[in-house]
Amino acid sequence: MINLARRNFIKNVGFVSATTLFCGSLVAQSTLENFSISETDEGNILAKFSKVTFFDAFLLDQSLADCYKKSILNWEKTGYAASGNYCFSSSDGLLKMFPMHLQTETTGKVDNVLLCFGKDLNGDWKSLRSLSGFDLEAITVAMHDLNIYRNEVNLSHYLFPAPTQKLNPYGYDTRKGSVSLQTILAMEQTVTKIIINEGNSIVYQKEIISKHSLTADSFFV
């Protein structure tokens, strides 16, 4: 096992980009009209996952279908919709992630989320957590910073949820440790702090100033 805590890039704390934040009230949401997942393996945070159609994902796994349908009800009530008829699956099939987005006629795409589901030891699927556009932005930056080590370790095992989770109000467990994500909305900028642990050791941390803005006519969910 490669312990990233011993690498020289550890404790990489810095800031990237800057954005102007406009918020007329406390109910605001990230405007992510320019947020996208790169199609190249080098820039794609989901490159280690297979793209699977709903039909193939649900055909032989009714538990996943039931869990997904139940989980998306509240998202759909607030205007979110599936970004396509596909999900992303880990190589062992125990983690499935479904992209959704919120789009309005006036502001365009307002938010992207990735709904994460894990299969437990009993073969049952459970909703793990949702990754917001700000979370995905921070994960993208972290993967870019750590990308020189992609041939030594599977970075997705450090960045994405493990199929089973312990109670963690500040983040989620990964196959190699845990990730903490905290987004702070302020009048001048939105900052997301990401901390990646291998076991109990911090192997990466960074504060990221979002490239994306807030709009007063959006809403926070």
Tens digit of each residue's pLDDT (9 = 90 or more) over 114-161: 999 999 999 999 999 999 989 999 999 999 999 888 788 899 999 999
Is-contact 102 121, C-beta < 8 A? no
Q: Please state the domain count of the chain.
A: 1
> Is 221 within the bounds of a domain?
no
Question: Which residue, 193, 153, 147, is CA-closest to 177?
Answer: 153
Question: Does residue 77 surpass a pLDDT of 60?
Answer: yes
Task: Give the C-alpha separation, 201 to 197, whole Å.
Answer: 5
Is-contact 202 10, C-beta < 8 A? yes
> Is 59 within the bounds of a domain?
yes
> Is 208 within the bounds of a domain?
yes
> Is 80 within the bounds of a domain?
yes
Q: Which domain holds residue 193?
A: 4-215
C-alpha to C-alpha distances, 202 to 109, 110, 158, 194, 205, nearest whole angstrom: 34, 32, 11, 11, 7
> Is 220 within the bounds of a domain?
no
Instruction: Please state the pTM of the whole predicted model.
Output: 0.78
Count of CB atoms within 10 A of residue 211's CB? 15
